[in-house]
Amino acid sequence: MKYASIIMGHISLDYNTDHLDNEMKVVGGAVTFSSASAYALGHRVAAVTKLAPADMDRAESLTIPKEDIFCLPACSSTVMRNKYFTADKERRKCTCESVGTPFTVEDIPLLDARIFHFAGLIYGDFNNEMIKKAAERYDVAVDVQTLLRHRNADGSMYFEDWADKPEMLPHIKYLKTDAAEAEIMTGQTDRREAARLLHGWGAKEVLITHNTEVLAYDGGEFYTCPIRARNLSGRTGRGDTTFAAYYCERLTKDIPTSLLWATATVSKKMEAPGPLKCSRADIEEYIREMYPEYGI
């Protein structure tokens, strides 16, 4: 079987509370949102996850075909609580109530794929050895959330810079951060300067998400595309949706075209809670409606 990418990460059970104190219990996690957006665009991806026996039903929430889901046994699964303080869901407090069993080098499957995506939720989901090993066979894609977000003993979360970034960034083809994470890693509030530094330290293509736009940088030019979601009811999963859509499109398209499709995909996804469920034709129609100046 030939895959565009292998996406590895924990499927979490999320308790999301909005700024009006309305709570919703959903199945989430980067692997859930990333695999959904890639599949919606017509790309075949493999999802590799770990779940405790009592939580195996979480895998049923993935939108990809069952034969493309590889569920490994675990002692524990991830449970997260997200409290949003504003209507735009840009400010939130995350609490990790349960940490999923970490992945190891032995969990990396030998599948025929172009890209290996480390779609983690918290520091410790993966180790450096795994990234190096995957880079020997695949183009590596990493969302830095799993490298910067740490858990205290009481479950509260905090962010700190990735100490091993000078050694590890050269092994990464596609690197994704949001604006806050980029500032943590570089000290720069200017997203372009942050992208320039991250590329200079070794990442081949840098993608930075923001509530207004998505930025891509390959060491030569900066590219941006505006987010045009008509509402933010599906804000959770923004970066994951964008990232997988982008790097899968990059397998056959240039950066500005890939960025347009990725940004339109996440704009459409943000209009409804949960992982994206639509077809490529639906996203193409969304581009025609919301991005007419691009002439698709």
User: Half-sphere exposure (CA, 13 Å, Cβ side) for 165?
Assistant: 22
pLDDT interval class at 18 (50, 70, 90): confident
pLDDT at residue 85, as a whole number: 84
Looking at residues 144-163, what average pLDDT do you find? 94
By residue range, what is the domain housing residue 19?
Answer: 2-294
CATH (domain of 117): 3.40.1190.20
Three state DSSP letters for the chain: CEEEEEEECCCEEEEEECCCCCEEEEEECHHHHHHHHHHHCCCCEEEEEEECHHHHHHHHHCCCCHHHEEEEECCCCCEEEEEECCCCCCCEEEEEEECCCCCCHHHCCCCEEEEEEECCCCCCCCCHHHHHHHHCCCEEEEECHHHHEEECCCCEEEECCCCCHHHHHHHCCEEEEEHHHHHHHHCCCCHHHHHHHHHHCCCCEEEEECCCEEEEECCCCEEEEECCCCCCCCCCCHHHHHHHHHHHHCCCCCHHHHHHHHHHHHHHHCCCCCCCCCCHHHHHHHHHHHCHHHCC
More confident residue, 166 or 21: 166
Residue with tokens 């994704």: 176
pLDDT at 273 over 80: yes
Looking at residues 211-236, what average pLDDT do you find? 94
pLDDT interval class at 241 (50, 70, 90): very high
Looking at residues 66-90, what average pLDDT do you find? 89
Can you read off the two tokens belonging to residue 15? Answer: 């308790």
pLDDT at residue 82, as a whole number: 83
pLDDT interval class at 94 (50, 70, 90): confident
pLDDT at residue 62, as a whole number: 97
Contact 282, 268 (CB under 8 A): yes
pLDDT at 252 over 80: yes
pLDDT interval class at 107 (50, 70, 90): very high
d(CA 260, CA 97): 36
pLDDT at residue 60, as a whole number: 94
Number of structural domains in the chain: 1
pLDDT at 219 over 80: yes
Taking every pair of C-alpha atoms in the chain, what is the biggest distance, in angstroms? 52
pLDDT at 52 over 90: yes
By the 10 Å C-beta count (0-12 exposed, 13-18 middle, 19+ buried), 112 is classed as exposed
Contact 260, 232 (CB under 8 A): no
pLDDT at 91 over 80: no
d(CA 73, CA 144): 25
Comparing 5-19, 76-90, 168-182, 218-232, the range with the smallest average pLDDT is: 76-90
More confident residue, 296 or 97: 97
Whole-number mean pLDDT of the chain? 94
Looking at residues 245-272, what average pLDDT do you find? 97
Looking at residues 145-156, what average pLDDT do you find? 94
Looking at residues 77-96, what average pLDDT do you find? 83
β-pairing verdict for 139-143 and 149-151: unpaired
Comparing 18-22, 169-173, 217-221, 252-256, the range with the smallest average pLDDT is: 18-22
User: Half-sphere exposure (CA, 13 Å, Cβ side) for 214?
Assistant: 31
pLDDT interval class at 121 (50, 70, 90): very high
